Amino acid sequence: MTRGLPVLFLGVDGGGSGCRVALARADGTVLARAERGPANVTSDFDGALANLRAAIHEALSAAGLDESALAACRAHAGLAGVVTRSDADRVRAALPPARWTVTDDRPTALAGALGGQDGALICVGTGSFLISRRGAALRTIGGWGFQLSDQGSGAWLGRALLEETLLAHDGLAAFTDLTRAVLIDFGGAPDRIVAFAGQAGPQDYARLARKLTEAAAAGDDTGRAIMARGASYLTRALAALDLAGNAPLCLSGGLGPSYAPYLSPPLAARLRAPAGTALDGALLLAGQDGAP
């Protein structure tokens, strides 16, 4: 414990869409929150740091404090784009002085979802990854990006849907309402699907995923088969995480909950709603990390 000054916790959650900061007392009472623009340190280091500093300053001001209060802060930042230890060191050196720990944004998401408990977070949005805690050990699976990984993700689902549509067009699979609708969306012309794929990035493919999850929920055979393939990957990944048999599981991200009906009953029984956000997780890790 820091002598003389009351200990404060500072949590920071940052990614491509914005950064969020919360300042709390050691008892958990949140004193102030602030939010600013994107903070992906790989795509724009200086811009990310400027947004982070502004958000931290705003949270301190809102709590009636100035930057000198940071001396009494234990702080954790979970930031998209922190891949290596040297990324973390570089960020730490550029942040206002405090007792920082810096990680990528997956440990904070996990800590927020499970409140620091053992278990796993299955995050499925445009991309996908799994992260687990077992005691002190964190383990991450997937998240290597759209070209070779991110199975089950929105981008993966959208691409699989176009692939199945071409297979149906070629006569290798029966058309279902879903693949018929996709082909119509492309003017009935497979070469327009091919032209789309020549330009498409993960976000473009992921925009097709909602149509797939809705069709699957309504019973479309192709939709259900693709979802089942995604769920099969997530199930293999959960097995590889080698958790205790009753460890809780959270499905997060825009598409995570869509997989609940595709998990086996024993896995489904372990699902619980995320307890909190990645910002909550950052506050929690601020209290746990780097204690003297």
Interface residues toward a copy of itself, by CB under 8 A: 83, 141-142, 144-145, 147-149, 159, 162-163, 166, 170-172, 190-191, 193-194, 197-198, 200, 233, 236-237, 240
Work out how close the CB of 127 gets to a copy of itself at its nearest, in angstroms, rounded to a whole number: 12
Residue 5: CB atoms within 10 Å: 12
Work out how close the CB of 171 gets to a copy of itself at its nearest, in angstroms, rounded to a whole number: 4
Q: Which residues pair with 79 in a beta bridge?
A: 14
Instruction: Record the tokens describing residue 146, joined without a space.
Output: 């759209």
Contact 76, 108 (CB under 8 A): yes
Instruction: Record the tokens describing residue 33, joined without a space.
Output: 């929150």
Work out how close the CB of 173 gets to a copy of itself at its nearest, in angstroms, rounded to a whole number: 8
Q: What angle do CA 249, 250, 254 make, to 5 degrees?
A: 150
Work out how close the CB of 223 gets to a copy of itself at its nearest, in angstroms, rounded to a whole number: 17
For residue 7, the SS3 value is coil
Query: With respect to a copy of itself, which residue has the nearer C-beta, 217 or 240?
Result: 240
For residue 52, the SS3 value is helix
Work out how close the CB of 137 gets to a copy of itself at its nearest, in angstroms, rounded to a whole number: 13
Contact 16, 43 (CB under 8 A): yes
Question: What values do phi and psi take at 159, rounded to 5?
Answer: -70, -40
